[in-house]
Amino acid sequence: MSKNIIKLKPKKEDSLLRRHPWVFSGAIDSMPDSIEEGDEVCVVDNKGNVLGVGHYQIGSIAVRILDFGTDTLEGDFYLNRLTSAFRLRQTLGLIREDNTCFRLVHGEGDFLPGLVIDIYGDTAVMQAHSAGMHFARHTIAEALTLIPEARIRNVYYKSDTTLPYKARLDPENEYLIGSYDGNIAIENGLQFNIDWLKGQKTGFFVDQRENRSLLERYARDRHVLNMFCYTGGFSVYAMRGGAKSVDSVDSSSKAVALTDANIALNFPDDERHHTHDTDAFKFLADMPKDKYDLIILDPPAFAKHRGAIKNGLIGYRKLNTKAFEKIKSGGVLFTFSCSQAITKDMFRMAVFTAAAKSGRRVRILHQLSQPADHPVDFSHPEGEYLKGLVLYVE
Ligand code: SAH
């Protein structure tokens, strides 16, 4: 048994027995002083019965459980978990010649709390959210190359923004295995330059793949406005879908350049597309009414934690109100929230309030969420974060 034993207070084991993987610091009765952040620890109930093994972290979530009902991680723990994550993506039909990017590991949703891995062709881009995963990074990188059939050759580690900054781990963004060897990924037959070195998160938002596909079906002959475009994912799909015009807006000049490059890669010299390096709220305020009949609002998370929910909801309400005021009658609005702290119902209410305020008649066509390569563990509902509504506005 691990020397690091964390004993819970009486009756604090229930959530772990239901396989929820977090132990909050307030549930801990005792633990040795020698435990350090990132250590592998064994969690026991107040009577000493083993509950599981996980990574210790300073903070309100004190332990993230990696395996239940055992006191140590087996030697090939990571390879086994990664292989089963890969099998799931095979089952989902995501690994094809015309689709080379997908999420391989979605933290708790793949029973690997604290770890996110996206795949772009033969490169894995890995982000650790806990000290334990940071310390395990070389083992994980090695295991990635051993997953049968996965053919992963490069592993890029990118945790400078995801690790708790107080942990003082000095993470370097670096290749743990292999090196840069071209970065064009294919999603549903469309090509994307993925810049994991400079881009946000792992370089691309793979979580919008299916919602982009749905948008493509609505794009024919429409004038499309893609707000918060980042790499231009929605814009590229709208172009293929036969849009009359596509305007992509982002306040980051880097994002606008990425969008331009991705449009050029798929639709060189196509004059239907234009980018705008400007603030979304300003663009919405300045644009004429009735110009667009397909609008996408996919902003960054307005509420990154619970304390920000109230202001976040005000932000979603304001943004959507503007879109409702300006969209052409018969127009379709794709509106999203990726704030984990904001529930589906809260978001829906914010958008409803915006619709009511604008006086438009609005119907819900689709209710969207994250795709299956971002699975939600039943025991860990907190893993659900992306929500979207497709609305018909008259
Ligand atoms: N829709 C994108 C992801 C959006 S990420 C996709 O499918 O990949 C959020 C984007 O919003 C970032 O690129 C960021 O630069 C941009 N952004 C943040 N605040 C903004 C603002 N006030 N106006 C315009 N863009 C903004």
Buried b / exposed e across 225-249, counting CB within 10 Å, b at 16+? Answer: bbbbbbbbbbbbbbbbbebebbbbb
Q: Kindly give the distance from the C-alpha atom of residue 279 to the centroid of ligand 1, in angstroms, as a whole number.
A: 9
Sign of the C-alpha dihedral, residues 88, 92, 93, 99?
negative
Mutate to test the pocket of ligand 1, among 192, 230, 231 (most ligand atoms within 8 A of CB): 230
**pLDDT beyond 60 at 1:** no
Residues near ligand 1 with C-beta < 6 Å?
A: 205, 208, 228-231, 233-234, 249-252, 255, 279-280, 298-300
- How do residues 20-39 score in pLDDT, each as one tens digit? 999 999 999 999 999 999 99
Q: Kindly give the distance from the C-alpha atom of residue 119 to the centroid of ligand 1, in angstroms, as a whole number.
A: 22
Q: How long, in residues, is the chain? A: 394
User: What pLDDT shows up at residue 167?
Assistant: 66
Q: What is the mean pLDDT of the chain?
A: 95
- How do residues 237-277 score in pLDDT, each as one tens digit? 999 999 999 999 999 999 999 999 999 999 999 999 999 99
**Mean pLDDT to the nearest integer, 90-111:** 97
**pLDDT beyond 70 at 127:** yes
Q: Kindly give the distance from the C-alpha atom of residue 148 to the centroid of ligand 1, in angstroms, as a whole number.
A: 36
Closest residue by CA, ligand 1 atom 11: 228
- Provide DSSP, 70-135: -SS--TTHHHHHHHHHHHHHHHTT--BTTB-EEEEEEGGGGT-TTEEEEEETTEEEEEE-SHHHHH
User: What pLDDT shows up at residue 38?
Assistant: 95
Q: Residue 40: which pLDDT band, with cuts at 50, 70 and 90?
A: very high
**Mean pLDDT to the nearest integer, 53-61:** 95
Q: Kindly give the distance from the C-alpha atom of residue 76 to the centroid of ligand 1, in angstroms, as a whole number.
A: 39
Distance, CA of 83 to CA of 376 (rounded, Å): 18
Token pair, residue 295, equals 């609008």
Mutate to test the pocket of ligand 1, among 228, 281, 336 (most ligand atoms within 8 A of CB): 228
Closest residue by CA, ligand 1 atom 7: 233
User: What pLDDT shows up at residue 196?
Assistant: 82
How many Å is the Cα radius of gyration of the chain? Answer: 22
Tell me the pTM.
Answer: 0.95
User: What pLDDT shows up at residue 45?
Assistant: 97
User: What pLDDT shows up at residue 145?
Assistant: 98
Closest residue by CA, ligand 1 atom 15: 252
Q: Residue 166: which pLDDT band, with cuts at 50, 70 and 90?
A: low
Q: Residue 2: which pLDDT band, with cuts at 50, 70 and 90?
A: low
- How do residues 325-377 score in pLDDT, each as one tens digit? 999 999 999 999 999 999 999 999 999 999 999 999 999 999 999 999 999 99
Token pair, residue 235, equals 């814009």
User: What pLDDT shows up at residue 47?
Assistant: 97
User: What pLDDT shows up at residue 19?
Assistant: 96
**Mean pLDDT to the nearest integer, 126-155:** 96
